[in-house]
Structure 1
């Protein structure tokens, strides 16, 4: 396809083709699917993020549940996003930023760093979202309420989070145009290794109608080696299905298999543990 300026552009992929490609990858009716994505990697899509979500839901069928991370590092001063944002700021600018940081509201707080597909799911009228002020998940489908309910506020991604319920349900993970560095499921493994380090976290919440800073202690999350963990997982012969969706590379695998492998890998290779 050529535009008026003479340049050649690939044709836009449509919703029906996406659905077929998701099914060819192995996404089928039922169960739960935790999706991490980069829509840009797909190339032009007719209908953009809305069409991709509809295609995923069509592949899952009415009995399937689509889950996305809806994290909100923007309301915390212990997040990587905050540290990057205040670089070069004066003390006054930092104080002004802190005063302007809004409290978390599961119904309204956006999750801009999670990408367009996650925001498309989060803003669906029927979507449900967990209550954690930093690492919430949004979901649509029959299992949505069970997955997102009772997300403990002092447990980012551990046994009292949606990740543990996805593990129990035998959910799948879809990496759509992103690598293993984005695989949130590996964080559950950090809660299941011995001698896990802890960290103090701060974020802005609303308590009894008032905006306030809240401090809590949880596992010190570290995704710096997730690419290596993922490479080891795939090289181990684990059932990882790889295929093309649009112009992107997609991977599909089980939450349980990924977490169990990561526990073994982290127990051997994380600092302070035997090599």
Structure 2
């Protein structure tokens, strides 16, 4: 067995110890820097391809990986091309976008790439609202999938919270439309409009979700490691995360758990 194979298997074993299993459908948010450093320390040339391969190994041939390919250029009127617009969510997500057989969803701001057994079920998803009821977030929940974050705090990774907020129609966010040039998989370019459920900046609303993350840890809904500890990977059931977040919202505790205001005292 080569050094690369050994490193890949070691990483895969770590991801499984953190909560990934065969046949999982899992959305992975990531900062690959520390894991690349771990590869280098093991005498292997650092490569996001090795990390991607290790995640594929951790869920097996029956599993499916989903990565965010978020890119906010469309919000400024710049063109989006589903065939070539890059991810701005890190090197691992860009490696996933370029992986053979990868399937990309069509929202120009919040697109995703799926690789594996159930990737075809994400094909053709072109949801209007980034966090809407027909979005990949909703599909992940319907599939009883998981969400994982590698070496990132909730504040910089867990966008699923905003899906729950939209499903609960929270009053501190509102629907906003963005229009720009859009090129589809067939190469056809036209002006198209898409939406996002954005925070109310005029009322001083700021995303502030780390306290919700602590609640998930305290409720033992997260498994694995905190950022920059152990494997660095934590894992949660999408359905469990939805239910816990919905409970916080419907019980009136969203302020201070999911958002704060500029006028709040430190």
The answer to whether residue 14 in structure 2 is matched with residue 30 in structure 1 is no
Structure 1 residues 190 and 110 mapped into 2: Cα distance closer, same or farther (>3 Å)? same
Asked whether the 8 Å contact 1:31–1:169 carries over to 2, the reply is: no
In the TM superposition, residue 201 of structure 1 has moved relative to its aligned partner by: 2.9
Separation of aligned partners in 1, 2:209 and 2:170: 19
Q: Which residue of 2 aligns with 1:94?
A: none
Structure 1 residues 210 and 171 mapped into 2: Cα distance closer, same or farther (>3 Å)? closer
The answer to whether residue 181 in structure 2 is matched with residue 205 in structure 1 is yes
Structure 1 residues 120 and 178 mapped into 2: Cα distance closer, same or farther (>3 Å)? same
The answer to whether residue 172 in structure 2 is matched with residue 188 in structure 1 is no
Asked whether the 8 Å contact 1:198–1:217 carries over to 2, the reply is: no
Separation of aligned partners in 2, 1:56 and 1:223: 33
Asked whether the 8 Å contact 2:176–2:195 carries over to 1, the reply is: yes
Asked whether the 8 Å contact 2:64–2:118 carries over to 1, the reply is: yes
Q: Which residue of 2 aligns with 1:104?
A: 80
Structure 1 residues 161 and 18 mapped into 2: Cα distance closer, same or farther (>3 Å)? same
1:40 to 33, 40, 43: 33
- The aligned length equals 232
Partner SS, residue 80 of structure 2? coil
Higher mean displacement: 40-49 or 14-23: 40-49
Asked whether the 8 Å contact 1:148–1:162 carries over to 2, the reply is: no
Separation of aligned partners in 2, 1:258 and 1:32: 15
In the TM superposition, residue 148 of structure 1 has moved relative to its aligned partner by: 4.5
Structure 1 residues 231 and 190 mapped into 2: Cα distance closer, same or farther (>3 Å)? same
Separation of aligned partners in 1, 2:21 and 2:178: 40
Asked whether the 8 Å contact 2:14–2:231 carries over to 1, the reply is: no
RMSD: 2.5
2:197 to 208, 219, 232: 219
Asked whether the 8 Å contact 1:104–1:206 carries over to 2, the reply is: yes
TM-score by length of 1: 0.76
Structure 1: which 5+ residue stretches go unaligned? Answer: 1-12, 78-97
Separation of aligned partners in 1, 2:92 and 2:154: 18
In the TM superposition, residue 216 of structure 1 has moved relative to its aligned partner by: 4.5
Separation of aligned partners in 1, 2:161 and 2:120: 23
In the TM superposition, residue 14 of structure 1 has moved relative to its aligned partner by: 2.0
Separation of aligned partners in 2, 1:216 and 1:104: 12
Asked whether the 8 Å contact 1:151–1:162 carries over to 2, the reply is: no
Structure whose CA Rg is larger: 1
Structure 2: which 5+ residue stretches go unaligned? Answer: 1-5, 200-204, 256-266
Asked whether the 8 Å contact 2:145–2:238 carries over to 1, the reply is: yes
Structure 1 residues 51 and 232 mapped into 2: Cα distance closer, same or farther (>3 Å)? same
Q: Which residue of 2 aligns with 1:243?
A: 225
Q: Deviations over 1:94-130 (max 9, x none)?
A: xxxx6xx3x211111101x201111111111210000
Structure 1 residues 223 and 180 mapped into 2: Cα distance closer, same or farther (>3 Å)? farther
Q: Which residue of 2 aligns with 1:179?
A: 153
Separation of aligned partners in 2, 1:148 and 1:256: 22
Separation of aligned partners in 2, 1:203 and 1:125: 30
